[in-house]
A and B are shown apart, each in its own frame.
Chain A
Amino acid sequence: MTKNTDQPAAVKNTAVSIAGWPIQQVFRLLEYPFSKIQRGVGIQGMPWIFLLPNLIFFGIFVIIPLFINFAFSFTGGTELFLSNRVYTGTEQYRFLLDCKTFGDPITCREDRFWKGLYNTFIFVFFQVSFLVLFSLITALILNREIRGRGFFRAVFFFPVLLSPVVVALIWKWILLRDGILNAFLVSIGMDKILFFVSPEWAMFWAVFVSIWAHMGFYTLILLAGLQAIQPDLYEAAEMDGTSKERVFWRITLPLLWPNLLVVVVLALIKGVQVFDEVFVLTGGGPGTATQFIVQYIYNTGFTEQVQNFGLASAASIVLGVILFVLTMLQLAVTRARDNG
Chain B
Amino acid sequence: MADPGVETKNLVSIILARRGRKKWHWTDIFSYTYLALGIFLMFGPVLWLGMSSFKTRAGLLEFPPTFFPLGQIELQVEGYEKPLLLFDVKMDDGSTRQLAQIRRIGIVSQMVDPKNPGEKFKIPIDQRTKVREFRMAWENYRDPLERFNFLLFLKNSVVVTVVATLVTLLINSMAAYGLSIYEFRGRNAIMLFVIGTLMIPITVIMVPVYLVVTNLGMVNSLWAVILPGAATPTGVFLLRQYMLTIPKELIEAARMDNASEWTIFSKVVLPLAMPAIAVLAIFSVMWRWNEFLWPLIVLNRTEVYTLQVGLNAFQGELDVQWHYILAMTVVTLIPVALVFAFLQKFITTGIASSGMK
Contacts and interface: CB of A to CB of B under 8 A. Distances in A.
A180 B329 contact: no
Q: Is the interface of A mostly helix, strand, loop or mixed?
A: helix
| Band of interface residues on B | 35 or more
B206 A297 contact: yes
Nearest to B169: A23
A221 B194 CA distance: 23
A44 interface: yes
A161 to B, nearest CB: 5
Among A4, A44, A170, A221: residue with most chain B CB under 10 A:
A170
Interface in A222-239: 223-224
B199 interface: yes
A187 interface: yes
A301 B43 CA distance: 38
A144 B266 CA distance: 44
Contacts of B212: 60-61, 64-65, 68
B340 A158 contact: yes
Contacts of A153: 348
A275 B204 CA distance: 13
A69 B65 contact: no
B289 interface: yes
A16 B236 CA distance: 21
Interface in B23-82: 25, 27, 31-32, 34-35, 38-39, 41-43, 45-46, 48-49, 52, 61, 63-65
A163 B207 contact: no
Interface string A46-67: 1111110111011011111111
B339 A163 contact: no
Interface residues of A, number: 103
Contact of A154 (B187, B201, B344): B344
Nearest to A158: B340
Interface in B286-323: 286, 289-290, 292-293, 296-297, 308, 311-312, 315-316, 322
B351 to A, nearest CB: 5
B204 A61 contact: no
Interface stretch (A105-113, A123-131, A308-316): A308-316
B13 interface: no
A162 B311 CA distance: 14
Interface stretch (A5-13, A96-104, A193-201): A5-13
B61 A47 contact: no
A165 B292 contact: yes
A313 B179 CA distance: 33
Given A46-B182, A166-B332, A298-B297, A72 B260 contact: no
Nearest to B342: A11
B209 A61 contact: yes
A259 to B, nearest CB: 10
A164 B290 contact: yes
A321 to B, nearest CB: 9
B242 to A, nearest CB: 16
**Closest 3 interchain pairs by CB?**
A57-B231, A50-B178, A163-B290
Interface of A: 4-5, 7-8, 11-12, 16, 23, 27, 30-31, 34-35, 38, 43-44, 46-51, 53-55, 57-58, 60-69, 72, 80-82, 137-138, 141, 144-146, 152-166, 169-174, 178-180, 183, 186-187, 212, 217, 220-221, 223-224, 244, 262, 266, 273, 275-276, 280, 283, 294, 297-298, 301-302, 309, 312-313, 316-317, 319-320, 323-324, 327
25 contacts: A8-B343, A35-B262, A46-B261, A50-B178, A53-B170, A53-B175, A61-B212, A65-B212, A154-B340, A155-B35, A161-B339, A163-B333, A165-B290, A165-B311, A166-B332, A173-B52, A183-B64, A220-B351, A221-B355, A280-B292, A280-B315, A297-B206, A298-B297, A319-B204, A320-B204
